[in-house]
């Protein structure tokens, strides 16, 4: 929906994930332990997260949505599906790779894409299909071409065919680094790419329609930042309207 010269969109952070839960669980050794734990790759949401989606569902139930932009990670796909279930607008769900979280932990690697597509059949994954390497769409987000290519080469050399096992290998390589594979400046550039995608999409589909975006904490914080103010931190499943300046 357009307001004056802005595009107004409903922003929602995903519900509590098993990674969020693990960050406070001493079994995982706190955040650092959870950060590189292979069991927390592309986690689903928790029972508490499911309860959060029901509250968010009630907040958006009376508004008819046409399109839902969603990160391809499972916690966002789950959240979007539950929050907009039976929405009167019967919205189309569009997976957008540039909406994924800042790439720095287990939770930011994707699962086997074909399995995800099978689970979320109502979601349009065609944007991912246009990438050079859709199976590793989360690597495609990275501006560090050298590291990205080295990961794909090592996976091929070791004969790792299973995409979930490949993600475990990539996580082990991430743990060896002193920094995250995605720099802050690269992350900001990716978010600008996401904004451009949304603006172009709205220009094509119509500014009179209603749009929502389901993504992640760091992503939304940077997405809502302006030249005059810091971005806004969202709690799990928080719902808020936001205007993208043209």
The tens digit of pLDDT for each residue in 203-226 reads 999 999 999 999 999 999 999 998
Euclidean distance between CA atoms 54 and 86, whole angstroms: 12
pLDDT in tens, 116-166: 999 999 999 999 999 999 999 999 999 999 999 999 999 999 999 999 999
* pLDDT above 90: residue 29: no
Residue 5 is predicted with a pLDDT of 58
Which tokens sit at 152?
């794909």
Name the one residue in this structure whose structure tokens are 């969109």: 9
Euclidean distance between CA atoms 192 and 244, whole angstroms: 11
Residue 30 is predicted with a pLDDT of 80
Strand residue runs (E) in 46-190 = 67-70, 92-95, 123-124
Indicate the Cα dihedral angle 110, 129, 78, 46, nearest 10°: 0
- Residue 45 — pLDDT band, cuts 50, 70, 90? very high
Give me the mean pLDDT over the 102-128 stretch. 98
Phi and psi dihedrals of 177, rounded to 5?
-80, 155
Single pTM value for the model: 0.95
**C-alpha distances out from residue 151 to 40, 48, 218, Å:** 20, 35, 24
Which tokens sit at 142?
């990275």
Euclidean distance between CA atoms 165 and 176, whole angstroms: 17
- Residue 2 — pLDDT band, cuts 50, 70, 90? very low
Residue 246 is predicted with a pLDDT of 47
- Residue 49 — pLDDT band, cuts 50, 70, 90? very high
């Amino acid at each position: 929906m357009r307001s004056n010269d802005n595009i107004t969109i409903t922003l929602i952070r995903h519900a509590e994930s098993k990674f969020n839960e693990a960050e406070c669980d001493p079994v995982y050794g706190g955040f650092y332990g959870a950060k590189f734990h292979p069991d927390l790759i592309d986690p689903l949401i928790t029972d508490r997260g499911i309860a959060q989606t029901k509250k968010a569902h009630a907040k958006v139930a009376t508004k008819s949505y046409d399109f839902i932009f969603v990160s391809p990670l499972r916690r966002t796909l789950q959240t979007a599906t539950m929050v907009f279930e039976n929405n009167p607008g019967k919205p189309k769900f569009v997976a957008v790779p540039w909406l994924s979280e800042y790439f720095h932990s287990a939770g930011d690697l994707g699962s086997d894409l074909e399995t995800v597509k099978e689970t979320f059949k109502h979601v349009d994954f065609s944007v991912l299909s246009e990438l050079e390497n859709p199976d590793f769409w989360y690597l495609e987000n990275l501006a560090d071409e050298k590291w990205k290519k080295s990961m794909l080469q090592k996976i091929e050399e070791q004969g790792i065919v299973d995409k979930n096992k490949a993600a475990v290998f990539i996580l082990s390589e991430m743990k060896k680094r002193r920094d995250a594979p995605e720099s802050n400046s690269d992350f900001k550039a990716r978010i600008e790419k996401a904004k451009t995608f949304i603006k172009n999409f709205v220009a094509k589909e119509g500014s009179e329609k209603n749009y929502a975006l389901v993504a992640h904490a760091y992503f939304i914080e940077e997405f809502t930042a302006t030249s005059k103010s810091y971005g806004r931190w969202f709690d799990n499943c928080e719902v808020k309207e936001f205007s993208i300046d043209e």
